Homo-oligomer: A and B are copies of this chain.
């Protein structure tokens, strides 16, 4: 669990000033279990720190991404930079195409596939992005098997 205190220490440890604005952003991100847009983060942060500028939120999000403390998730249509906290090292997500809920999973062995792809393509592979898309239990129950948002899209 990445508390905002731990995040704060990392920030300071890297030589960045720890401002009340930054603390507020850290709290919001550390606490959320969902991915949030910059705008959504801004709205939440404002409740704890009215007067904070949207620019500051953007700058903080950039810093967090640079420090690898957040990662992006990718929605089906629009592809804005949604963010979520990253609990630990390497991880992946499942996203509900209906409600947007995101669940992490960490265990995944792609090494064999990666090896084969690397050999065939000549690439030196350094990372990957893996995200399953589907319907969460709740949405399935709510809308019946399949549900109204079922697109059948394949990535």
| Interface residues in chain A, defined as those with a beta carbon under 8 Å from any beta carbon in chain B | 65, 68, 71-72, 74, 77-81, 89-90, 92, 94, 96-97, 103, 105, 108-109, 113-114, 117-118, 120-137, 140, 150-155
Specify which of A130, A131, A132 lies most central, judged by the most chain B CB atoms within 10 Å of its CB.
A132
Q: In the complex, how many angstroms separate the beta carbon of A53 from the nearest chain B beta carbon? A: 21
- CB pair A123–B136 under 8 Å, yes or no, is yes
**A79 with B74, Cβ < 8 A, contacts A132-B125, A152-B126, A154-B127 known:** yes
Known: A79-B81, A118-B134, A129-B131. 20 other contacts (CB 8 A): A68-B154, A72-B79, A79-B80, A89-B154, A94-B123, A97-B126, A109-B113, A117-B132, A121-B136, A123-B136, A124-B135, A124-B140, A125-B132, A126-B152, A126-B153, A127-B154, A128-B130, A128-B132, A129-B129, A130-B155
Residue contacts A-B, CB under 8 angstroms, 25 given: A68-B153, A68-B154, A74-B129, A79-B80, A89-B154, A90-B155, A96-B123, A103-B123, A105-B120, A105-B121, A109-B113, A114-B132, A121-B136, A123-B136, A123-B137, A124-B135, A125-B132, A125-B134, A126-B134, A126-B151, A126-B152, A128-B132, A129-B131, A129-B155, A130-B155
